[in-house]
Amino acid sequence: MLSTNPLFEDQAVRTLDHAIHGGADFGECITTMQRVPAGDTAAWAREWTATADCVALLGDDAHARGHRVSAAEGWLRAANYYRTAYCFMYGHPVSADLAAAFDREATTFAKAAAALDPPLAPLEIPYEGTSLPGYFVSGGDGVRPILVCTNGYDSTLHEMYLAFGVAARKRGWHCLLFDGPGKGRAPRRASCAAM
């Protein structure tokens, strides 16, 4: 058990579930949750952000040393931890803290995406006068089956990579991930822009 608070337990397990595809580390999740009192959302945001910052620095250090795989692995975990940090910040309008946390998630994931082999291809899909962010995950050369994934309310395309993109790639499938209308990036940025 990671927390005696049922909602905290659910969200911590959600994060830890991504360990199967490199998006979390058991020890990092356990030690983070040991610093979070049950029900304390401020401590939740602070401690998950601290863990994400630390792991992102590990990725940066690995990159500086020329260790591409280790860098990508660190950045993937950090991006997932940044997403976890803001899961209790939702409200209307979107707070500046949530928008900043999402930007850290997106920036860190973009570094991981570029370091993967082969790299993920970032996309902007035109949609009703704006665009929907996405990534194309190559399953290999040539014509292959493609899995198209979009997200729900509180998920992001970065989390979808861990949930679907890695598995598709391992099986030789292409995968298109994108934030659907009103999902992922859109509500985290649009509400703040209107403030």
Cβ atoms of 159 and 18 within 8 Å: the answer is yes
Is the peptide bond prior to 145 cis by the omega test (within 30 degrees of 0)?
A: no
Tens digits of per-residue pLDDT, 5-19?
999 999 999 999 999
Q: Is residue 120 predicted with pLDDT exceeding 80?
A: yes
Q: What is the pLDDT of residue 103?
A: 94
CA–CA dist 4, 52 (Å, integer) = 22
Q: What is the pLDDT of residue 185?
A: 81
Cβ atoms of 160 and 152 within 8 Å: the answer is no
CA–CA dist 145, 89 (Å, integer) = 38
Q: Max Cα separation, the chain?
A: 51
Helix (H, G, I), strand (E, B) or coil at 1: coil
Burial of 9 (0-12, 13-18, 19+ CB in 10 A): middle
Q: Is residue 195 predicted with pLDDT exceeding 80?
A: no
Could you tell me the pLDDT band of residue 192, with boundaries at 50, 70 and 90? Answer: very low
CA–CA dist 103, 97 (Å, integer) = 10
Q: Is residue 49 predicted with pLDDT exceeding 80?
A: yes
Cβ atoms of 109 and 158 within 8 Å: the answer is yes
For the chain, domains (ranges, CATH) are 6-193 (3.40.50.1820)
Q: What is the pLDDT of residue 183?
A: 79
State the amino acid at position 14 in one-letter form: R
- The residue among 191 and 6 whose pLDDT is bigger is 6
Q: Is residue 37 predicted with pLDDT exceeding 50?
A: yes
Q: What is the pLDDT of residue 94?
A: 78
Tens digits of per-residue pLDDT, 146-183?
999 998 878 899 999 999 999 999 999 999 999 988 77
Angle ∠(7,24,89) on CA atoms, nearest 5: 40
Q: Is residue 110 predicted with pLDDT exceeding 70?
A: yes
Identify the helix (H) or strand (E) that includes residue 64: helix 41-64
Task: Find the mean pLDDT for residues 40-49.
Answer: 97
Tens digits of per-residue pLDDT, 54-94?
999 999 999 999 999 999 999 999 999 999 999 998 877 77
Q: What is the pLDDT of residue 189?
A: 61
